[in-house]
A and B are shown apart, each in its own frame.
Chain A
């Protein structure tokens, strides 16, 4: 969803907002821009706990609780990976997210392609099930899966977590890909056919490259949803611990500052991806694509 918004906004950002007379009238009145203050105040609220988290990844706490500022240290960055269990949890999170990205990326792309391109029996039903899977609360999805695993005597663990994550991510990928498929110009594919390409070559050489940004966006969304998930995972992960689950468990005994370090690193990766995304969108707009 986020990637969609960026590209849309990127494309529409330059042109067509605020016509000239409106701007003139606004200037003439010189009213206080309350909207700007409001927006920045809400943004400050959104960033407050993040700033706190980053700042306290450099704190040198006295006791087990990293709550009051004691002094600056880089110790936690030097020993970022000193907690074996935390590392294991982080590794599980990343590997589950990668598997989810690949599997839901594949299934979601095929589904999105079919929904965007073809009419078929059961299309309405498919849309309804996808809508339900997206809007159902996580606690319901987790509880339903756990109920069924219990009744089937399936032991929950790593693979049941992957299954659950793919289940809730596949619709998001499908929606992202479908949105792109609908906007594709069918004449490009017809041209490829006219030039002698078979159905498979047309798909591989024409359709797929045009879909690629959407597939990437959907896959990254699936990765982000998976690595962030706590509620569904807590139901279906059995003895396996992921990063959010480990943090949750650690709250009772006090969270080591390494958690702040890993949170900061995740944030940095997100920031980097977002900046690259925007830079690419800018370049696309600039080259008139």
Chain B
């Protein structure tokens, strides 16, 4: 059966080709584009202009920092809201566990953009929530939620919450309940049982959740555009504008690489601290 040796290669070949051509090669293409000079009219020449990176960072450091900050805040909000929820569903959900999970996922059948825009309408200055409160005199006339940093952070947390809840739930659900019983038998109170037994078991889930929320939230630009107005732009907004509006491709590609580099450094140091395999295992 000599052809059995080739079977796996035949199976993976189409996907390999697709991922190589449309994922690996494009990253290289973007690297090459980030080292060019020129403009749309005259064309772009490969001059290996490293100065693009310096220009990108010095112009947009503020948006870069803001993105990392908003991403971190949104991730913390997701942990604060998502952990107790995952915990409760895993240990107290009883026969309705899958129903609760379904309820968490259901809102996400509505398109991402539409959900975010729906928040914008919901929270608009004289909309269904703020309007009546202002009419009753409970809020000052000029009060607004939109176009602020908290609006963006909460929007991000809203859109990525399931990516935190599901991995934490997955590890807690698999946990042996007798571990907690054993802790109580050894005279641990509820807090001690949580800190010494449940929390360590759930950490891989939290770590996976952090990766799955921090990466997309810090690179997002939809929430910043829809909920943040003009003063809360993130690095994703810059990348999108430079590519699609200004056609300033070398700078756009450089910023994208800076973002990618920052995230990669973050992920690797993070994975280092925990052991890569555990991160990838839960992630997958």
Q: Pick the contact of B110 from A166, A174, A267 — CB < 8 Å?
A: A267
Structural contact, B109 and A35, CB atoms closer than 8 A: no
Contact with A along B160-173 (1 / 0, CB 8 A): 01000010011001
Nearest Cβ on chain B to A186's Cβ, whole angstroms? 14
- Starting from the known contacts A230-B112, A251-B117, 16 additional A-B residue pairs (CB-CB under 8 Å) come to A5-B98, A17-B91, A17-B93, A18-B177, A50-B115, A53-B114, A108-B15, A110-B14, A131-B283, A137-B263, A139-B236, A140-B259, A146-B243, A150-B249, A163-B22, A230-B222
* Majority secondary structure of chain B interface residues (helix, strand, loop or mixed): helix
Kindly list chain A residues whose C-beta atoms are within 8 Å of the C-beta of B216.
Answer: 137-138
Kindly list chain B residues whose C-beta atoms are within 8 Å of the C-beta of A150.
Answer: 33, 249
Whether A147 is near chain B, meaning CB under 8 Å from some CB there, is yes
Structural contact, B22 and A164, CB atoms closer than 8 A: yes
Whether B284 is near chain A, meaning CB under 8 Å from some CB there, is yes
Known: A49-B118, A144-B26, A235-B244. A139 touches B103 (CB 8 A): no
Structural contact, B8 and A118, CB atoms closer than 8 A: yes
Q: How many interface contacts (CB-CB < 8 Å) are there between A and B?
A: 286
CA distance A115 to B284 in the complex (A): 13
Whether A133 is near chain B, meaning CB under 8 Å from some CB there, is yes
Q: Pick the contact of A263 from B11, B111, B220, B244 — CB < 8 Å?
A: B111
Considering residues B107, B215, B222, which has the most beta carbons from chain A within 10 angstroms of its beta carbon?
Answer: B107
Kindly list chain A residues whose C-beta atoms are within 8 Å of the C-beta of B107.
Answer: 46-47, 49-50
Structural contact, A38 and B177, CB atoms closer than 8 A: no
Kindly list chain A residues whose C-beta atoms are within 8 Å of the C-beta of B131.
Answer: 68
Chain B contact-residue range equals 35 or more
- Give 8 nearest A-B pairs by CB, closest first: A270-B109, A137-B219, A35-B88, A148-B29, A118-B8, A49-B118, A9-B98, A114-B11
Contact with B along A11-49 (1 / 0, CB 8 A): 011101111011001000000011110110011011111
Structural contact, B33 and A50, CB atoms closer than 8 A: no
Which residue of B has the minimal Cβ distance to A150? B249
Whether A211 is near chain B, meaning CB under 8 Å from some CB there, is no
Whether A82 is near chain B, meaning CB under 8 Å from some CB there, is no
Structural contact, A147 and B240, CB atoms closer than 8 A: no
Contact with B along A237-266 (1 / 0, CB 8 A): 000000110011001000100010001001
Kindly list chain A residues whose C-beta atoms are within 8 Å of the C-beta of B187.
Answer: none
Whether A227 is near chain B, meaning CB under 8 Å from some CB there, is yes
A-B contact pairs, 14 of them (CB 8 A): A8-B173, A38-B88, A46-B158, A53-B114, A119-B8, A122-B12, A130-B19, A144-B27, A145-B22, A227-B111, A231-B221, A244-B112, A270-B106, A278-B99
CA distance A133 to B26 in the complex (A): 12
Structural contact, B12 and A110, CB atoms closer than 8 A: yes
Which residue of B has the minimal Cβ distance to A164? B22
Which residue of A has the minimal Cβ distance to B169? A5
Structural contact, A271 and B106, CB atoms closer than 8 A: yes
Contact with A along B190-220 (1 / 0, CB 8 A): 0000000000000000000001100110111
Q: Pick the contact of B121 from A2, A67, A117, A152 — CB < 8 Å?
A: A67
Chain A contact-residue range equals 35 or more
Q: Pick the contact of A151 from B29, B97, B100, B220 — CB < 8 Å?
A: B29
Pick out which of these stretches binds chain A: B47-55, B57-65, B122-130: B122-130
Kindly list chain A residues whose C-beta atoms are within 8 Å of the C-beta of B15.
Answer: 107-108, 110-111, 170, 174
Kindly list chain A residues whose C-beta atoms are within 8 Å of the C-beta of B33.
Answer: 147, 150-151
Kindly list chain B residues whose C-beta atoms are within 8 Å of the C-beta of A80.
Answer: none
CA distance A230 to B118 in the complex (A): 15
**Residues of B that sit less than 8 Å from A by CB:** 7-9, 11-12, 14-16, 18-19, 22-27, 29-30, 32-33, 81-82, 84-85, 87-89, 91-115, 117-119, 121-122, 124, 126-128, 131, 158, 161, 166, 169-170, 173, 177-178, 180-181, 184, 211-212, 215-216, 218-222, 226, 236, 239-240, 243-244, 249, 252-253, 256, 259-260, 263, 267, 280, 283-284
Kindly list chain B residues whose C-beta atoms are within 8 Å of the C-beta of A45.
Answer: 158
Whether A127 is near chain B, meaning CB under 8 Å from some CB there, is yes
Kindly list chain A residues whose C-beta atoms are within 8 Å of the C-beta of B222.
Answer: 230-231
Which residue of A has the minimal Cβ distance to B176? A16
Nearest Cβ on chain A to B269's Cβ, whole angstroms? 15
Nearest Cβ on chain B to A235's Cβ, whole angstroms? 7
Nearest Cβ on chain A to B262's Cβ, whole angstroms? 11
CA distance A178 to B110 in the complex (A): 28
CA distance A17 to B126 in the complex (A): 47
Kindly list chain A residues whose C-beta atoms are within 8 Å of the C-beta of B112.
Answer: 228-230, 244
CA distance A122 to B192 in the complex (A): 45
